[in-house]
């Protein structure tokens, strides 16, 4: 995410967004990107409204005052100094700053970890509506499996800095099964995503050549993540 946003230079390869190299992309490209960090630590000396106006001016007509005001009121942020807000309320300000200009690409790094359930659900619903109405692309990093299942269409599982699985969420739900095998034959390696204590997570178990009597179960995204990263 840092490379895609131009915060760091890649050691190898190339990171590009909207056809421009991320490290030195022009302002016209950067204005199409929104970012919500895991922890907000900026503009502490400002009050909430002052901060929103200040950032909003940089985006001109692209800044959606109505959406920002609606979310701010729904979250009861008020107009206190940002430094005096709770971590959860500071994160709400970060979200407003990241989505206020309705970016074409919204990058979310664990954005809702410090939010209460109601605020988290409201933000995710706003993101889904924006994605559906404008075709906005959202790149979300999260360990909260329920949030991923609620908003994502494609997932990638990372382990030790590498992508170990990438698929559509529909494929995960429809094709991946947990197989309990106490003795051979075991699922073929090319169809095995993970294994642990006699359990295998496999693609399309009916095509693995296993005995039809072998017990299979539907897999939750959380179980699959734990199996692939533990």
What would the two tokens of residue 54 be?
């200040």
Residue 227 reports pLDDT greater than 90: no
Residue 144 reports pLDDT greater than 90: no
Element (H, E) at 118: helix 117-134
Cα 183 to chain centroid distance, Å, stands at 39
Residue 43 reports pLDDT greater than 80: yes
Q: What is the pLDDT of residue 182?
A: 73
Cis peptide before 185 (omega within 30 of 0): yes
CB 200 within 8 A of CB 208: no
Q: What is the pLDDT of residue 198?
A: 79
Q: What is the pLDDT of residue 81?
A: 95
> Helix or strand or coil: residue 4?
coil
Give the whole-number percent of the chain exceeding pLDDT 70: 100
Q: What is the mean pLDDT of the chain?
A: 88
Q: CA separation (Å) from 30 to 92, 132, 159?
A: 22, 22, 29
What would the two tokens of residue 181 be?
């095998």
Q: Is the dihedral of CA 81, 85, 88, 89 positive or negative?
A: negative
Higher-pLDDT residue of 214, 74: 74
Tell me the pLDDT band of 97, cut-offs 50, 70 and 90: very high
Tell me the pLDDT band of 114, cut-offs 50, 70 and 90: confident
Q: Which residue is listed with tokens 């382990």?
A: 159
């Amino acid at each position: 995410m840092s490379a895609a946003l131009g915060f760091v230079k890649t050691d190898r390869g190339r990171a590009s967004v909207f056809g421009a190299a991320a490290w030195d992309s022009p302002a016209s490209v950067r204005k199409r990107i929104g970012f919500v960090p895991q922890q907000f630590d900026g503009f502490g000396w400002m009050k909430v409204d002052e901060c929103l106006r200040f950032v909003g001016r940089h985006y001109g007509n692209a800044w959606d005052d109505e959406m920002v005001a609606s979310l701010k009121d729904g979250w009861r942020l008020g107009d206190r100094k940002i430094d005096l807000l709770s971590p959860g309320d500071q994160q709400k300000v970060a979200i407003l700053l990241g989505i206020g200009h309705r970016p074409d690409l919204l990058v979310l790094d664990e954005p809702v970890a410090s939010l209460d359930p109601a605020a988290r659900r409201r933000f995710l619903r706003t993101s889904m509506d924006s994605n559906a109405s404008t075709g906005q692309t959202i790149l979300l990093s999260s360990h909260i499996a329920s949030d991923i299942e609620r908003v994502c269409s494609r997932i990638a599982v990372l382990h030790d800095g590498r992508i170990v699985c990438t698929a559509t969420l529909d494929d995960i739900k429809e094709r991946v099964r947990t197989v309990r095998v106490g003795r051979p034959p075991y699922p073929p390696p090319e169809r095995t995503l993970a294994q642990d204590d006699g359990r295998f997570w496999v693609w399309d178990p009916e095509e693995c050549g296993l005995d039809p009597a072998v017990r299979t179960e539907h897999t939750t995204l959380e179980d699959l993540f734990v199996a692939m990263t533990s």
